[in-house]
Structure 1
Amino acid sequence: MTTIASTPAQTTGRPAVPDLLLDRLREHAQATPDALACAFVAEDSPEGTEEEQLTYATLDREVGAVAAGLRAAGLKTGDRALLLLPEGADFVRGFLGCMRAGVIPVPAYPPLPVQSRQRVETLRSIVADCRPRAVVHSASDADVEAIQGVAPELADVVWRRPSEMLGETPDPAADHPAGADDVAFLQYTSGSTSAPKGVVVTHGALAHNLAMIGASFGLEEVPRFVSWLPLFHDMGLIGNLLHPLWAGGSSVLMTPMTFLKRPARWLRAIARYRAHVAGGPNFCFDLCVGRVRDSDIEGLDFSHWKIAFNGAEPVRPATLDAFTRRFSAYGFNPAAWWPCYGLAEATLLVTAVDARQVPNRLTLDKDAFQQDLIIPVEGAADGAADTTTLISCGAPLLDRTVLIADPETGVPTPPGRVGEIWVGGPLLPIGYWGNERATEETFRAIPAEGPQVPHMRTGDLGFLHDGELYVTGRCKDLIIVGGRNHYPQDIESTVEESHDAIRKGCVAAFAVDDGGEERVVVVVGAGQGAVGPGEEAGAKRAAIVRAAGVAVAADHGVALHDVVVVGPNAVPKTSSGKLRRAACRTSYLAGEYAPDARNGQKAQTAHTEES
């Protein structure tokens, strides 16, 4: 039998479950009651100043009050409470109050405005799946009525605001003594490739992942975080709120819209609070390079920034280099780069680089890589012709393991081959809520060869080199043309650079079957007057189509079947900013991007045929 591509556990034996989050919170409230737990940045603050703070003592008291309020409302252990709360203090109180009461919190994106079909459909899917007994919210009475109007199944459940429960007297009898095997919360997947499914995260799995994050950071200081990531998503919730609380640190939080409107606010907050940890998906660093002016960052100091994590989407070497060039004069250290890999089905973190070193890069022969073969090219610079450069996402730790397997057969792949990433080891989430079939397929996969140990299938592609994981894409997104593999993010990156009107992170590439073979389609989000009526806009769209086609043909040897130019907001994404390629492909095949598909759409699109 061939040697399989897998990582060994770094320790032996079944590890003890680390201290649970609720226990750690109580300890911090007693040991450091006046220490800052959370601060919340005012949305209109150009300097990133906070509008509210919670110390550990205040947080402990308010969490107890919410737990008592939920119990008084009739909720019992194991009931689900849907959290429709924006990023802020109410979210923290509501989430932790549910956990303390033994009620299972279910974070979800508030579907406001209710005219958003995608948000409403996602909410109704989650409601049908988890059947909540209550909604914890901070909406106005009018918004509550609007939500119940589009989601009538929520009309008869308990609706409570955290602010209304703060007057309750914390009652130890309302506290549920959580065990490691108890359900802590349901983390619904982003829906980037399918309908959302509720990952069942136990208190033990959460504690183990929080300990993994702490071990991988290796910080000597009590950690300080600054984050803009949504709290109903696993990276924002676990990585940027719960981990700092578990570690006794602090998190300064702002809304995603605060960051997206002015990325400089995030950078200014990082400097103001002297954060050790701040990061996000790759696109957020591109956004900082492209939209932050010199005057926005004058006098800032990033020398304290020790962990600049980059995950949730492919990590691009060009992004790391551009960000380092732009901000090294302000003290940013390239050793702070911390590429990582994780997903909700693993609680959050799976692998991460050594926080003390600059991440490893691997330059590969492009022709071999398109055939799933890993052949390193020594001495080639990033971006050299006929090569592909990837960034390592590091290695697992604390008994977490990674196996690379053939996605079709389940046979572990030999070294030097791309395959599906399977995750093993103890204290993983136990499955999807109420979905035994999907749980069996995803969380109980048995390799066709080697030790018959259950693994969790990720649906992501990658390979191991020198014990470190390199992520290459998703199984379902892979484009195969002429017998060669093409990763959509590579094509998207080429298209992004082909014309200056194309917005970063707003390009989706996918394949369609014309009855004989796969064809490549690209949907491009563009600005600078490319969207709208008139000859000038039409000429710009035609120029984008030509530039994209030439660039992709030159870099990848692929002829684009169709290029659709739309406004940036017409490219579907998840709430965390990841491209929804499958949804984009579905819309394309349904004719939603066709020039005459809906009123005004002719002014929004341009196709290959037009040029």
Structure 2
Amino acid sequence: MPNLRDASDLISALRDNAAEKPDEKAVFHVHDPEREDGHTALTYAELDREARRLAGPLRRRLAAGERALLQYASGTDFPVAFFGCLYAGVVPVPAPLPGSNRRERSRVKGIVRDADVRALLTCGAQLDEVAAWAEAEGLTGIPLLATDGEEVAAADADGWERPAVDRSTPALLQYTSGSTSDPKGAVITHGNLLHNVETMREAFPLPDGGRHGGWVPMHHDMGLIAHLLCGVLTGRSAVLMAPMAFLRRPHWWLRVIDRYRIGLSGAPNFAYALINDRVTDQQLTGLDLSNWRYAANGSEPINAGTLRAFAERFRPAGLRPEAAMTSYGMAEATLMVSTASFRPPLALCVRPDALERHRIVRAEPTDDRHVELVSSGPTFGLDVVIVDPSSGDRLADGEIGEIWLRGESVARGYWNNETATRGTFGATTGDGDTGYLRTGDLGTFVEGELFVTGRIKETLFLHGRNLYPQDIEHEVQRRHTEFRSLPGAAFTVPAGREGRSAEDLVITQEIRGRYSPAELTRLSTEIRQTVSREFGLPVASVALLRPGAVQRTTSGKIQRVAMRQLFLSDELRPVHLDGTPSPARPA
């Protein structure tokens, strides 16, 4: 297959596949991997035809370059809608279904407003839900189209006219996991996607018949790009399943990988922790995971213990030890930045006191404590530098600073947001090298591999020390079986009144099951003791929460800033609170 970096646009890439392999499957959607007829599928010719068919009704509603919101639960309807938008010259904006979560409903409304969306696309099964949400949010002036409805079915695919697009044309608005009040949509061009998909094909070679796929939703870049677009555009095909199917039956993910010969399937760290704990020996019986070459762990902080447990737990099912791999990416870079493909990732035990000073120093065997960091592998297809975030000065290997990126996969900016674009894109280093994307992530290089240590805005500054919240969260969960596989969030709040600059540490942690008040008090005390013993820090407040209370992105990433805001506004509704919210409030 030709190098996708040489393709003119995504339409040409898909149509080339439709011409070369019309009858081969492009997309599977699996609704029950344990039934012989448990999937629907589209060939390359069918996907091309249905995209051309949808393009007509879209063009009657939208001009070239206008935006359409895509809201789908799962299924083959989303791929048709995505490519149908491209075939019409319309820019797709993937988003979750409204659901019942107030914050998520508000966030999607914010996306609609920010992107100036001119049409809402969904399928017949979700039409009433989307219509009710749009009416409740005052969005009734925006046309709503069921892409599997009668109007589209009656459209003439043969009457399609190719839009005027090239590599510089926007192909996607990918909204990042920001606040509900200030959504930011990265403008991803045809050229960005083609470059990043080709980079992934080179980083993840697969034998003939190896596919991409998984359960990560299509409004998240890992699901959309690594699974769907990379699978379809490289000619390998994509296999999709509903996120809720995975959460209800985690072993189905493994069944789908086995039955459909998926070679690349990625997920955030929490998903691997979940299958480590919840997949039974009986569910493992008969599984063959030998085709799963790339079990990519990314999108949130990676836990070395989770990687080791995953490799060991599924070794009897044929999982290769080197399949448990790591990666780093972000929406503003289309997706992939670095990966440790087809080999065990490099892990380092480092001294926590040095980490607090933003340096990597390997721990000695005699050291009482250490922090284990996992590499995200070497970088691919991008220029990557580590700089002091204040001065832009380049830092040496082993010194932690902000990760800056430059290259053909980097987005052209944020949609209709010049202020945010100027603050994030086109940064210049202290020595005058320009054109970099500021990621907001902290990291460093060791032995040529990228180590991501945290987010600048989430770093905790306590008692003159810099600490990473995920280290505290992981230690609490590791030490207490009651919290296993359940998320928590560590953050700081202002200490006291009158604008004092000191910060108090707050630990929030989900807990499952029924506990007496005395047991909850005991657990809260043990959390305090763990943090004091392991980090030398006092904890001002501990909030134990019901499952689902910790705010997360659609990919499972902990939203610590949102949790801080909920804590300060007394909206957490804990089952147990040890310590009271600070009287200080955000301005």
Same fold (TM over 0.5): yes
Aligned match of 1:162: 147
Identity across aligned pairs (percent)?
A: 37
CA change 1:579–1:86 in 2 (3 A) is: same
Counterpart of 1:320 (choices 292, 296, 307) is 307
1:410-421 matches, cutoff 5 A:
410-421=392-403
Aligned match of 1:59: 47
CA change 1:442–1:51 in 2 (3 A) is: same
The one-character-per-residue Cα deviations of 1:425-447 (angstroms, maximum 9, x if unpaired) are: 23421000000010011011111
- Is 2:475 aligned against 1:490? no
**How many Å separate the matches in 2 of 1:560 and 1:47?**
51
The one-character-per-residue Cα deviations of 1:224-249 (angstroms, maximum 9, x if unpaired) are: 12300010111110111000011101
CA change 1:54–1:249 in 2 (3 A) is: same
Aligned match of 1:136: 121
Aligned AA (1:403): V
**How many Å separate the matches in 2 of 1:586 and 1:330?**
44
- Is 2:376 aligned against 1:393? yes
1:52-451 matches, cutoff 5 A:
52-71=40-59, 73-113=60-100, 116-139=101-124, 142-152=128-138, 154-164=139-149, 165-171=152-158, 173-191=160-178, 195-353=182-340, 355-377=341-363, 385-398=368-381, 400-447=382-429, 449-451=430-432
**How many Å separate the matches in 2 of 1:277 and 1:49?**
23
**How many Å separate the matches in 2 of 1:283 and 1:390?**
17
**How many Å separate the matches in 2 of 1:50 and 1:177?**
39
Q: Is the 8 A contact 2:82 2:92 kept in 1?
A: yes
- Is 2:497 aligned against 1:529? no
Q: Is the 8 A contact 1:503 1:525 kept in 2?
A: no
- What is the deviation of 1:166? 3.0
Q: Is the 8 A contact 1:264 1:296 kept in 2?
A: yes
- What is the deviation of 1:158? 2.0
Counterpart of 1:517 (choices 496, 502, 505) is 502
- Is 2:570 aligned against 1:591? yes
The one-character-per-residue Cα deviations of 1:454-489 (angstroms, maximum 9, x if unpaired) are: 100111111111221000010011012222211000
Aligned match of 1:596: none
Partner SS for 1:276: strand
- What is the deviation of 1:144? 4.2
- What is the deviation of 1:19? 5.4
CA change 1:18–1:450 in 2 (3 A) is: farther
**How many Å separate the matches in 1 of 2:338 and 2:7?**
19
Which deviates the most, 341-350 or 137-146? 137-146
Partner SS for 2:312: helix
Aligned match of 2:448: 467
Partner SS for 2:266: coil
CA change 1:357–1:284 in 2 (3 A) is: same
**How many Å separate the matches in 2 of 1:282 and 1:194?**
27
- What is the deviation of 1:385? 3.4
Partner SS for 1:606: strand
Aligned match of 1:607: 578
**How many Å separate the matches in 2 of 1:141 and 1:391?**
44
Aligned AA (1:405): V
- What is the deviation of 1:20? 3.3
Partner SS for 1:497: helix
- What is the deviation of 1:516? 4.9
- What is the deviation of 1:212? 1.0
Q: Which segments of structure 1 move beyond 4 Å, counting only runs of 4 or more?
A: 15-19, 44-49
Aligned AA (1:103): V
Aligned AA (1:314): P
**How many Å separate the matches in 1 of 2:128 and 2:179?**
31
Counterpart of 2:458 (choices 454, 468, 477) is 477
Give ranges in structure 2 of 5+ residues lacking alignment. Answer: 582-587
**How many Å separate the matches in 1 of 2:501 and 2:171?**
49
**How many Å separate the matches in 2 of 1:386 and 1:545?**
23
The one-character-per-residue Cα deviations of 1:102-127 (angstroms, maximum 9, x if unpaired) are: 001111111134xx311221111111
Q: Is the 8 A contact 1:34 1:55 kept in 2?
A: yes
Partner SS for 1:476: helix
**How many Å separate the matches in 1 of 2:438 and 2:190?**
21
- What is the deviation of 1:261? 1.0
**How many Å separate the matches in 2 of 1:343 and 1:550?**
36
**How many Å separate the matches in 1 of 2:547 and 2:398?**
38
Aligned AA (2:201): G
Aligned AA (1:219): L
Q: Is the 8 A contact 2:110 2:181 kept in 1?
A: no
- What is the deviation of 1:452? 2.4
Aligned match of 2:24: 35
Q: Is the 8 A contact 2:67 2:117 kept in 1?
A: yes
Aligned AA (1:566): L
Aligned match of 1:554: 533
Partner SS for 1:569: coil
Cα RMSD between the aligned structures? Answer: 2.1
Aligned match of 2:524: 545
The one-character-per-residue Cα deviations of 1:149-196 (angstroms, maximum 9, x if unpaired) are: 2221x3122221111213311145432142000010111112279832
- What is the deviation of 1:378? 6.0
- What is the deviation of 1:499? 2.1
The one-character-per-residue Cα deviations of 1:294-324 (angstroms, maximum 9, x if unpaired) are: 1111111111111110100111110011111
**How many Å separate the matches in 2 of 1:26 and 1:575?**
31
Q: Is the 8 A contact 1:78 1:104 kept in 2?
A: yes
**How many Å separate the matches in 2 of 1:502 and 1:49?**
39
